[in-house]
A and B are shown apart, each in its own frame.
Chain A
Amino acid sequence: MVRIESKNENLYAYLSGEIDHASSQSMREEIDFEVEKYHPQKLYLDFKGVTFMDSSGIGLVMGRYKQMEPIGGEVHVVNTSSHIKKVMSLSGLDRLVTLE
C-alpha cells in the first residue's frame, strides 16, 4: 500500500505492508501517476510502514529514480529498517539516490 502527499513542491510516498513482486506493481503505478501530475523537485520514499521487502523493492526505487532523473528531480529513501538496508546495499542504490 502507498499513501501519497504533496508538500512544498515535494512528493512524499509512505509505503506500508509487504513489498514483493505482487505488491510492487500497484505501488509504482500510484507513485508514477502523482510524479507525472506534480513534477516534484524531490520524491521521498518512506519505508517506515514496510514489514517485508525483497529485491522487488530495489526495482521500485531504481524505477522511480529513472522517472525523476529526466525532470531533474531527486529521490530520497527514508526510514529503512536494518533488513531493508541490507537488501538495498546489494544494489549500489546509494550511488543513485539518497538513503537517509
Chain B
Amino acid sequence: MEIVNEVNLTIWSKSSNESYARVAVSSFFTQLDPTVDEITDIKTAVSEAVTNCIVHAYRNTVGKIYITARITADRYAYIKIRDKGCGISDVKQAMEPMFTTAPDEERAGLGFAVMQTFMDKVKVTSAPGKGTTIVMTKKIRPRRNNG
C-alpha cells in the first residue's frame, strides 16, 4: 500500500486531549475531500480509541498515546493508536458489545463496537503489561462532481 502522506502525533492521556486528538486526525483526512458523514465517522472512532487509552490503558495514571494517520494512494484513511498501558488479556472479550470494566463510570462498553461500525476494518493487538495497538482503516470514496 503506497503511502502518500503521514502525520504522527503524541499526546498525554488526559481527557482534555480527546477533543484535540479527534479534530487533529479528522482534519488531516480532509485532503481526501471526504463527506461530512465520513469525517464524523473518523472523529467518532478516534474519540473511542483515545478514550479507551485514557480510561483503561492508563487508568489512574498519565501516559503517552501515539497516533499515526496515513493517506494511501488508493484513498484509504489509515489510523494507528498505540499506548504503553496495562494491555488487554482477552481482546475478544473486550471487543464484545456491552463488555466494560468500568460500569460505575457509565461506560457503555461500546467503544470497539462504535469503531467497527464507523470504520471499514479495526484490528486490535495487545499484550498485558505492554500496551495495546489499534489499527483502523476506512476507504474514502471519490466524490462525483454534480456540476
Contact = CB atoms under 8 A, between A and B. Distances in A.
Given A20-B18, A63-B106, A86-B117, A56 B51 contact: yes
Given A20-B51, A54-B48, A90-B113, A62 B19 contact: no
B106 to A, nearest CB: 4
Nearest to B55: A21
Contacts of A83: 37, 40, 44
B93 interface: no
B16 A58 contact: no
Interface residues of B, number: 25
A23 to B, nearest CB: 8
B113 A18 contact: no
Nearest to B107: A59
Contacts, number: 63
A55 B19 contact: no
Contact of A91 (B16, B105, B110): B110
B108 interface: yes
Contact of A54 (B54, B97, B105, B114): B114
Interface in B119-139: none
Contacts of B54: 21
A6 to B, nearest CB: 23
Interface string A23-67: 010001000000000000000000000001111101110110000
14 contacts: A21-B51, A21-B54, A52-B22, A52-B47, A54-B47, A55-B110, A56-B51, A58-B108, A59-B107, A59-B108, A62-B108, A90-B97, A90-B110, A90-B113
Interface of B: 15-16, 18-19, 22, 37, 40, 43-44, 47-48, 51, 54-55, 97-98, 105-108, 110-111, 113-114, 117
Given A21-B18, A55-B114, A87-B114, 8 more contacts: A52-B43, A54-B44, A56-B108, A58-B110, A59-B105, A62-B106, A83-B44, A86-B117
